Chains A and B, each alone.
Chain A
Amino acid sequence: MYRLRKIQSVKRSICLKNLILFCCCLLSFLSLSSHAESTQSHPSDAIAVRDALLMDLTNASLKKSMPILEKIEQISSEEMLPVFTTLLEGGLYYVKSDRSLVQKRSIDGKTSFTTFPFLNKATNQQASELTSKKVKKIKVNNALRKYLRGAIARIQLSSTDISKRQSSVRSLLSSLDESTISRIHQLREKETDTGVKAMMDIALDLYSAENGSEREQVAAIRRLANSLENEVRNALTQLTKDDQPEVVRNAALTALKTIDQQVNRYALVDQLFFGLSLGSVLLLASIGLAITFGVMGVINMAHGEMIMLGAYTTYVVQLLMPNHIDYSIWVAIPAAFVVSGLMGVIIERGVIRHLHGRPLETLLATFGISLILQQLVRSIFSPLNRQVSTPSWMSGSVEINPVLSLTLNRLYILAFALLVFFALLFILKKTSLGLNVRAVSQNRNMARAMGVKTAWVDAMTFGLGSGIAGIAGVALSQLTNVGPNLGQAYIIDSFMVVVFGGVGNLFGTLVAAFSLGIATKFLEPVTGAVLAAIAVLVFIILFIQKRPKGLFPQKGRAAE
């Protein structure tokens, strides 16, 4: 006990000493701030100045933070990297009592504050005792964030991590100045990784294309013609302006032409991806309907609400496991299938089987069910939208090259939609349930005569279709709002896809979903989102006039 107290008192006296030192240093720093470089020769002084600056940072308003950070970067850039990154992420706090810096961390939903080990002035309060009331956030705005990104990139130029080196060179492309270029030049000599080397070459070329002699400019521009980087394109566009010498202008024009060709090609790929992605959403939404409406012939207006139930199941699953959002999807998919599937079975057993062969009544009854389900959700979960978090592995995008990057959530949903489609195709074609379903849908009486329990098959089929709609809801919860009206937004699209593809033909549904998706996305840039939707609808109406049975009509006796 005694020892501990003694240590503490010693610590405190050190703190006091440091404080005096800070003040002296701060004074000298303020009066001789132009000599900041010289203080670097005395490490302890530099640390003291740095600590004093960090202290200022906790006091400063947003406008005053920038010069303070610049000074900190000048004095001791490399070791400040953790502080800069934490500040950029908005996790930098200070303890109210002694103004020492701490970092906010959340592990498994618990928030804790930890000190920075390299800052010698550790907080005198135990870090574990810090609660959010004892600390205050250091605020950042866009200007600061922009500066911090640049500073971090400058520091990470000499990082040991290859990908960090590469990304820092890349983020410096937009703010190349003489000192950065000479630094890159030095590092280029020592660089071993070819990817980083190439990126550094682009930076050097970019600089000489803008600032070199005429000869250097032309040579640099020629080398840049293979780069798709945005900054390169912008710099080249600037070089085609009239104030440049003719040779440079021509070189820039030819380089731009090559680049633009490539960019246009990738833009087409991008648009195709958007179309496929919209198509996969349409496919997911309509594939359940392709079974209930397409195979069974039931006009199910409550189909959208099955999707909605699936989306709400995702929300509930995430509520139940708040610390494992990344895995929640894997629980949500079977859960949604069961919830929507059960609801489907209940609807079939309770209502639809009594209305067999009466399409108009079925339509009205299922319409009523859809209103009941919506109101039910409204009463349980409130009319407000619920927030469904996206797992971290589904956020962001994969960058294929500087002009083409595919968003991950869309990519996963595209793959998922195809997976569900082929799984369903397998069930229908290769299992005994599938055989029964096909038999009942083709000829109910004959199937019954052969000993198929048609009532059971009806319930199972409807449950399957609804369950798949529930799975679609899980996917849609990642893309759009989870609210009581979620289903309404998709019911029309779903019917459109099924009718366009040909009723009773799963493969037709696939083709229809993707072609409608791609058509919409290619129309959208030309006509705008509102007109594109109208144009597609008009097209389908006209198409149905010509071919009432859709793209792939059923042939033979089954069609009768």
Chain B
Amino acid sequence: MKMKTLVSSIALAGATLVAFNIHAADTIKVGVLHSLSGTMAISETTLKDTVLMMVAEQNKKGGLLGKQLEAVVVDPASNWPLFAEKGRELLTQEKVDVIFGSWTSVSRKSVLPVLEELNGLMFYPVQYEGEESSKNVFYTGAAPNQQAIPAVNYLKDDLEVERWVLAGTDYVYPRTTNKILEAYLKANGVAAEDIMINYTPFGHSDWQSIVSDIKKFGSEGKKTAVVSTINGDANVPFYKELGNQGISAEDIPVVAFSVGEEELSGLDTAPLVGHLAAWNYFQSVESDDNAEFITQWKAFTKNQDRVTNDPMEATYIGFKMWANAVTEAGTTDVDAVEQAMIGQETSNLTGGTAVMNKNHHLSKPVLIGEIQDDGQFEVVWETEGVVPGDAWSDFLPGSMDLISDWTAPIKCGNYNTKTKACSGQNY
């Protein structure tokens, strides 16, 4: 199976290489490292298009530093080791100045050593599990304290949930997030028998017994909710099965961290109505910037039905900040841009301001929305103001004392406030 994807992706990548090798010498190159095939294509192709749109937009404004921008697209084909290979190719052969890429944490972890070895710069636009802060990466998606923890608080306080199902796909993001959530719930007095944890492989399609277990777990008298870190296209059969077994959102609400407008557009939403998602952006949020962004997106894709989502907003913010930082620094040199990035401010699409903090994470508002039958979200709860992203969780024993600060004098992604020492590990 892996062999197959590998072969097909090499063929595809070869084609893209040929297409993009013809370029003018004096351009600023923007690498795009998103899967265009395989299980994550459903989510990642949109982000590739978003970067292309931002690049075209920037070029219309006259580019950057008097040069035009040029996008270099490669396809790592949802194949995690291939992310490292493709990342190396972008940095050494294509000599790109910045990379926008990755969705799953396992793909980010795969490309990370390459970025650090070759001193590249990457913008990572997806919500993730935290516990990382690399000098070479800017995390424009949510850290757990900007998505998972507020979502659990909403369920706990507003919906009075007492039993918890933590269901996820079996890889690093769900495992770490669930570890943090479990610690957080236990710290808040939830008993161990009121937490059920379940992992499934990527692309899992036979959900009968798991959904039936959830149903049983939730029918024991206490209000139950599912916190879902199920990723990619496994969500479709999961929600279908929920609908078929008659679990409605009023009985057992599912709050998802990886299901947005884009994923819903490929789905019959009738059985999902009322289930929840926690993000930092919804297409339904009313603001001038958002209206403009949506119009621009529909025009760019020449499709009136295309939707926008949270990772797109994160890409948008990341790109705008990068463009500002390059202008400020007067160069695309990675070290100069990295320092110029910290403290950058730009308006986000929900009517507030995004700030890049010293730990390479953004300050963002947290929104919780209910799925509507048209595939959009109705915001039912939001934080007052923005929440700064926390790279190291305060609820895990190993990372309570750690902070990340990439400004002098600390300049460390992994600084222990108790021992006053940097761990030496790069990220």
Contacts and interface: CB of A to CB of B under 8 A. Distances in A.
Interface in B348-404: 370, 372-373, 378, 380
A483 B37 CA distance: 10
Contacts of A195: none
A533 to B, nearest CB: 7
Contact of B268 (A234, A389, A409, A525): A389
B245 interface: yes
Interface in A455-484: 479-481, 483-484
Contacts of A383: 36-38, 41, 45
Contacts of A378: 37
A374 interface: yes
A481 B237 contact: yes
A396 B246 contact: yes
Contacts of A484: 37
7 contacts: A142-B159, A142-B274, A145-B248, A386-B266, A387-B267, A396-B246, A405-B245
A374 B221 CA distance: 48
A491 B1 CA distance: 9
Interface string A250-284: 00000000000000000100110010011001000
A390 interface: yes
Contact of B42 (A234, A375, A385): A385
A546 B257 CA distance: 46
Interface string B233-276: 10011001101111011100100000000000011100101100
Interface centre among A271, A405, A481 (most CB of B within 10 A): A481
Interface of A: 62, 90, 139, 141-142, 145-146, 149, 230, 233-234, 237-238, 267, 270-271, 274, 277-278, 281, 367, 370-371, 374-375, 378, 383-387, 389-390, 395-397, 405, 407-410, 479-481, 483-485, 488-489, 491-492, 521, 524-525, 528-530, 533
Nearest to B265: A387
B200 A395 contact: no
Interface residues on B, range: 35 or more
B46 to A, nearest CB: 9
A233 B236 CA distance: 32
Closest 10 pairs (CB-CB, A-B): A234-B221, A480-B205, A407-B244, A383-B41, A146-B250, A274-B208, A481-B233, A529-B200, A383-B37, A230-B219
A211 B45 CA distance: 59
Contacts of A480: 205, 236-237
B92 interface: no
B206 interface: yes
Interface of B: 1, 4, 7-8, 11, 36-39, 41-42, 45, 159, 170, 198-201, 203-206, 208-210, 212-213, 216, 219-221, 233, 236-237, 240-241, 243-246, 248-250, 253, 266-268, 271, 273-274, 370, 372-373, 378, 380
A90 B268 contact: no
A20 B249 CA distance: 41
Contacts, number: 132
A533 B203 CA distance: 13
A284 to B, nearest CB: 13
Contacts of A407: 208, 241, 244-245
B318 to A, nearest CB: 24
Given A374-B8, A407-B245, 12 more contacts: A142-B370, A145-B274, A146-B250, A149-B250, A238-B221, A375-B11, A383-B41, A387-B266, A395-B244, A396-B246, A479-B240, A529-B201
A479 B205 CA distance: 7
Contacts of B210: 524, 529
B268 A278 contact: no
A278 B203 CA distance: 16
B236 A481 contact: yes
Task: Give chain A's interface secondary structure class.
Answer: helix
A145 B233 contact: no
A230 B198 CA distance: 23
Contacts of B204: 529
A237 B246 contact: no
Contacts of A386: 266
B8 A384 contact: no
B41 A141 contact: no
A397 B37 contact: no
Contacts of A62: 378, 380
A481 B205 CA distance: 8
A90 B209 contact: no
Contacts of A270: 212
A408 B245 CA distance: 9
B233 A90 contact: no
B233 A483 contact: yes
B221 A237 contact: yes
B207 to A, nearest CB: 9
Contacts of B1: 488, 491-492
A524 B209 contact: yes
A403 to B, nearest CB: 9
A375 B13 CA distance: 13
Contacts of A528: 198-199
Contact of B250 (A145, A481, A530): A145
Contact of A375 (B8, B243, B273): B8
A141 B378 contact: yes
Contacts of A395: 243-244, 271
B135 to A, nearest CB: 34
A408 B213 contact: no
B253 to A, nearest CB: 6
B168 to A, nearest CB: 11
A386 B233 CA distance: 11
A521 B268 CA distance: 27
A139 B378 contact: yes
A168 to B, nearest CB: 16
Nearest to B233: A481
Contacts of B246: 396-397, 405
Contacts of B216: 267
B170 A530 contact: yes
A387 B184 CA distance: 37
Contacts of B236: 385, 480-481
A146 B274 CA distance: 11
